[in-house]
Structure 1
Amino acid sequence: MAELKTNTFKAAIQRMELQRGLWCTMSDPLAAEMMADCGFDWMMFDTEHSPMDPVSLLPLLQAVAPYPVTSIVRPSCLNAAEIKKLLDIGAQTILVPYVQTADEAAQAVAAVTYPPAGIRGVAGLTRATQFGKIPGYHKRAREQICLIVQVETREAMGNIEAIAAVEGVDGIFVGPADLAASLGYPGEPNHPEVTRAVLDCIRRIRAAGVPPGILTLSQEVRLQAIEAGAVFVAGDLDLAALRKGLSTPD
């Protein structure tokens, strides 16, 4: 019989062990497979700000599966039906965007948890269950599912401790881009006031005993975030790396 796959990313961040990752918005399986072997601890497949959907995401999950990298998937929003589908096709780590309150965090927890504790719909012949070959999957799945919620507004900043206290939240990600807009600095994620707010959020999340995370293209902010206690950190996006690597034509 098949075994329930261990979520090494979840185990690592529970130990507060630094995990470095890559943000992915391209829907090409060959590119995903290449990036999976580049030494990152995790790859975050973004269906919120990209054309990706569950149909185009599935071959990406399959492409990276043989490699020692964790796939994280961001749904388009806090939508239980969408999250259910992402879990069924094999995602074990979910990053829910735009969570602003403890109640919304609790809704996210329910979405990744089977009844009676949650509302995740039950199906048997899914990729997540290895098509029915994992014994006791539905009773044990939540052990290896990692739920990260994203704080990215002024309101969410004020609710960090309450969000962190929600049982079942395994990590909190700070989104500098949307937070910058919420604070009055749209398009300026590295504005000094935004950076101060981001670092304050990271310190408060860590003080609450929850692993904090961040994506920033600024090496300076990234190093400051790690010093402040960030545990899962991304410093690049696939499209940004591709563009940087291309030579400007003469």
Structure 2
Amino acid sequence: MSTPSPGDFAERLRRRERLVGYWIACDNPVGTERIAGLGYDYVGVDGQHGVMHQPGWQSAMMAVDARGIAAGVIRVPSADPVVIGTALDTGARAVIVPMIETPEQVRTSVAACRHWPVGTRSLSGPVRAELRLGDVPARVDRQVACIVMVETAAALESIEPICSIEGLDAVYVGPADLSVALGASHFGDPSAAEALESALGRIVTAAEAAGIACGIHCLDGDSAARRLAEGFTFVTVSSDITHLQQAAAAHLRAARSAG
């Protein structure tokens, strides 16, 4: 069996293989390059809430590609086709589109990831996307995945029609926002735990019925393993900025524990 490569990511996602990713919030290409060589299937770059904005997306994708192991993925700020096209032009293998609530928004996102005649994406020309994915539109489209987020009450209510949109590759749960949408005062609020678990079950079932992948963001590796066992097909583990803080705090406690 051949070793999976970044170029296989979209097809592996569509086949609903189990994939594990990592989240990058910091604009730190050197750190991103280190993470990309650890063996994660993908490295997601946060272009919505992270400190990295469009000028940093290309450096992040180059850092991920440098190791030849993980696929670079970008969460864009919105379903704006121009922004989606910009992210894909950096060489991203997939985009994650946040705050999706209607099937029509899904259609717009999917179209922005595909060239004519099935979509609205413009040919990139001599930029990183062409270097990594080629210049034949249909071939490029097969190597790019469109993932939309489920994180609001409206998205949950429309989850079945959302999952059924032709060309959509995956749905991805943002558990923090979804928790608040279900009545939690904060992520982890025990009063909304049962409602959240019920919602997650519904999302997994809808995605499976539609034959598309279903992912979720997790706080740690143990949580990620549990979600995979529950039927999610891909999981993202924590983030660089979270682990940086956790590691620094742990070492500080250790240093100050000397008697």
TM-score of the aligned structures, taking structure 1 as reference length: 0.90
Q: Distance in 2 between matches of 1:94 and 1:39?
A: 20
Amino acid at match of 1:55: P
* Alignment match, 1:57: 57
Q: Structure 1 residue 174: deviation in Å?
A: 1.1
Q: Secondary structure at the match of 2:219?
A: coil
Deviations 1:80-108 (A, max 9, x none): 11111111111121111111111111010
Q: Structure 1 residue 220: deviation in Å?
A: 6.1
Q: Distance in 2 between matches of 1:114 and 1:9?
A: 19
Q: Distance in 2 between matches of 1:88 and 1:219?
A: 31
Q: Distance in 2 between matches of 1:8 and 1:171?
A: 15
Structure 2 runs not aligned, ≥5 long = none
Identity %: 28
Q: For residues 184 and 66 of structure 1, do their structure 2 counterparts lie closer, same or farther at Cα, with a shift above 3 Å needed? A: same
Q: For residues 221 and 139 of structure 1, do their structure 2 counterparts lie closer, same or farther at Cα, with a shift above 3 Å needed? A: closer
Q: Secondary structure at the match of 1:72?
A: strand
Q: For residues 148 and 241 of structure 1, do their structure 2 counterparts lie closer, same or farther at Cα, with a shift above 3 Å needed? A: same
Q: Distance in 1 between matches of 2:25 and 2:176?
A: 16
Contact 2:207 2:213 in 1 (8 A): yes
Q: 2:237 aligns with which of 232, 235, 238?
A: 235
TM-score of the aligned structures, taking structure 2 as reference length: 0.87
75-84 vs 232-241, greater mean Cα deviation: 232-241
Contact 1:206 1:230 in 2 (8 A): no
Q: Distance in 2 between matches of 1:175 and 1:226?
A: 15
Contact 1:48 1:74 in 2 (8 A): yes
Contact 1:190 1:218 in 2 (8 A): no
- Give the total of aligned pairs: 244
Alignment RMSD (CA, Å): 2.1
Amino acid at match of 1:61: M
Structure richer in helix, relative to its length = 2
* Alignment match, 1:93: 94
* Alignment match, 1:11: 11
Amino acid at match of 2:184: Y
Q: For residues 20 and 183 of structure 1, do their structure 2 counterparts lie closer, same or farther at Cα, with a shift above 3 Å needed? A: same
Structure 1 runs not aligned, ≥5 long = none
Q: Structure 1 residue 31: deviation in Å?
A: 0.2
Q: Secondary structure at the match of 2:167?
A: coil
Q: Structure 1 residue 187: deviation in Å?
A: 2.0
* Alignment match, 1:45: 45
Q: Distance in 2 between matches of 1:237 and 1:46?
A: 10
* Alignment match, 2:153: 154
Q: Distance in 1 between matches of 2:177 and 2:14?
A: 26
Q: Distance in 1 between matches of 2:31 and 2:6?
A: 25
